[in-house]
Structure 1
Amino acid sequence: MADLVYPPVIAFAKTLFRVLNMRITIEGAEHVPTTGGAVIACNHVSYLDFIFCGLGARQSRRLVRFMAKESIFRHRIGGPLMRGMHHIPVDRDAGLASYKAALAALKEGEVVGVFPEATISQSFTVKDMKSGAARLAAATGTPLVPMVLWGTQRFWTKGRPRNLTQRGVPVTIIAGEPLHPGRRDSQDAVSAELRARMSAMLDRAQREYPQNPKGPDDAWWLPAHLGGTAPEPEIYEPEAK
């Protein structure tokens, strides 16, 4: 498919990264295949995660087609950009259409990006996940690549004011070894393995992060189990039914 919008958007984003002196570390980019379909399953801590998840695939020269809320496609500015980049709208009341669109994209050799937690994790740990990413990979025989982001929540996350101009913030992007689910595999088992891998990757990214909060008032962006003041997951994020 023709991509007239995606490349200039990427160029603009990279310019902003340089202006903000953003310290971006990408690890495991070789796990994103350079050709053919693939599903990237990424954790979700920020409204900007799609930008950095997509950046994690650029070393393989791939453009990621993200599954995103249908409401974004109705925004007067975001909508044309989302459609121009061939992202996939998700209507939670009519999810079959978006699932079929993602299947078609994978069969055409595209990389599809999924946030299987379905919403931002305010605890900054990996929440219970939907099985859609595993189902898509299994149905199309494509690799399922786990990816985690850390640091993006410091710019713009749920329940906090935006701060898009702070400089020198480190951002960590880690891609892990792909899973290769088959049609006969248990989707719940694959999703559980995916979550376990993502949780381990995220914990390492958090522990190796090169900056610490400046003080108690800045500890909001760290999870509680690492001494931060983010909400405890078991209290604020009950298990999905």
Structure 2
Amino acid sequence: MAELVYPPVIGVARTMFKALDLRFDIQGSEHIPQRGGAVLVSNHIGYLDFVFCGLAARPAKRLVRFMAKESVFRHKVSGPLMRAMKHIPVDRAAGMDAYKHALKALRSGEIIGVFPEATISQSFTLKNFKSGAARLAQEAGVPVLPMALWGTQRLWTKGHKRDLGRHHIPITMRVGEPIAADPAEHADTVTERVRARVQDLLEAAQRAYPVRPKGPDDTWWIPSHLGGTAPTPAEAAALDRRR
């Protein structure tokens, strides 16, 4: 079936990127398979992360179907677009429906995008990963594609105002080699292997990031363990509980 909505939306996104003069550094896109199913797994630090994850798959001419919270699909603007692009709504009270939908898509050769931390990390460090992505890959017989983003939190993230001005913000992305998800292996073990690889990619993206804070008021997007003023993981967990 022809994709009538997704390609034009990508075109709009690229126009927006150009207008914002974002500076992209993408490495590892060659690991995205040109055909066949896969589960794309990334860290989650900003509201626009799914857009950037999808961008990394474009050299392979692939469209990523993301699993996203069901409330996004109820919005009068984003809802029709998300459905038309065949993204997958996740109702946390009835998650099995989304799981079955994603499994069917994987078996039909789609790439499914998952943020296994479930919510944005306000510490900008990796939270614990839920095992759903690994279980999907195991049951569908497809690999996991690990990925890490850095810089997206500076555009729009939880607890901070959007900054969509023309500030030449760099966005760094790293895609790793596919990880086999052996059905004989425990899903938690696969999940930990994937998380460790995403951590490696995240650290590589952070090392490559070309911008440093401009001053003491510009350290909010840097994790505390790297000298920034972002919440520590414990403080971020407390913020999540309060929300």
Please report the TM-score for the alignment, with normalisation by the length of structure 1.
0.97
Q: Are the aligned partners of 1:127 and 1:237 in contact in 2 as well (CA < 8 Å)?
A: no
Q: AA paired with 1:116?
A: P
Q: What's the secondary structure of 2:116's corresponding residue?
A: coil
What amino acid is aligned across from residue 17 of structure 1 in structure 2?
A: F
Give the deviation of 1:236 after TM superposition: 2.8
Query: 5+ unaligned residues in a row in structure 1: which ranges?
Result: none
Determine the structure 2 residue equivalent to 1:105. Answer: 105
Deviations 1:116-164 (A, max 9, x none): 0000001111110100110011001111000111110001000111111
Task: Give 1:130-169 correspondences, 5 Å limit.
Answer: 130-169=130-169
Q: Is the 8 A contact 2:19 2:166 kept in 1?
A: no
Indicate if the aligned counterparts of 2:43 and 2:149 stay in contact, CA closer than 8 A.
Answer: yes
- 1:166 Cα deviation (Å)? 3.5
Distance, in Å, in 1 between the alignment partners of 2:13 and 2:167 is: 15
Distance in 2 between residues matched to 1:125 and 1:203, nearest whole Å = 10
What is the total number of aligned residue pairs between the two structures? Answer: 239
Q: Which residue of 2 aligns with 1:200?
A: 200
Q: Deviations over 1:45-100 (max 9, x none)?
A: 00000000000111110000000000000000000100010000000000000000
The corresponding residue for 1:90 is 90
Measure the CA separation in 2 of the matches of 1:230 and 1:115: 20
2:241 paired residue number: none
**Amino-acid identity (%):** 59
SS in 1 for 2:54: helix
- CA shift, 1:165, in A, is 1.8
Alignment partner, residue 64 of structure 2: 64
Query: Which deviates more, 161-170 or 127-136?
Result: 161-170
In structure 2, the residue matched to 1:10 is 10
Contact 1:31–1:176 (8 Å) recurs in 2:
yes
TM-score normalised over the length of structure 2 = 0.96
State the match for 1:30 in structure 2. 30
User: Where does structure 1 differ by over 3 angstroms across 4 or more consecutive aligned residues?
Assistant: none
Equivalent-residue separation in structure 1 for 2:191 and 2:230 (angstroms): 25
CA distance in 1 between counterparts of 2:64 and 2:50 reads 9
Partner of 1:43: 43
SS at match of 1:203: helix
Deviation digits for residues 32-55 of structure 1 (CA, Å, limit 9, x no counterpart): 100010100011000000000000
Contact 1:139 1:182 in 2 (8 A): no
Aligned to 1:165, the other structure's residue is in SS state: coil
Is the CA contact (8 Å cut-off) linking 1:222 and 1:228 kept in structure 2?
A: yes
Residue 203 (structure 1) shift: 1.2
Report the alpha carbon displacement of residue 167 of structure 1 after superposing the two structures with TM. 2.3
CA distance in 2 between counterparts of 1:164 and 1:48 reads 11
Distance in 2 (alpha carbons) for counterparts of 1:22 and 1:147: 19
Q: Distance in 2 between matches of 1:237 and 1:189?
A: 23
Further displaced range: 13-22 or 67-76: 13-22
In 1, the alpha carbon distance for the partners of 2:79 and 2:165 equals: 24
Unaligned segments of structure 2, at least 5 residues:
239-243
Kindly state the Cα deviation for residue 237 of structure 1 after the two structures are TM-superposed. 2.6
- Report the alpha carbon displacement of residue 224 of structure 1 after superposing the two structures with TM: 0.8
Distance in structure 1 (CA, Å) of the matches to 2:110 and 2:197? 23
In the aligned structure 2, how far is the partner of 1:8 from the partner of 1:227? 41
RMSD of the alignment, in Å? 1.2
Q: Deviations over 1:165-201 (max 9, x none)?
A: 2321000111001111121111111111111111111
Give distance in 1, aligned partners of 2:161 and 2:20: 18
Whole-Å Cα distance in 2 between the matches of residues 199 and 3 of structure 1? Answer: 34
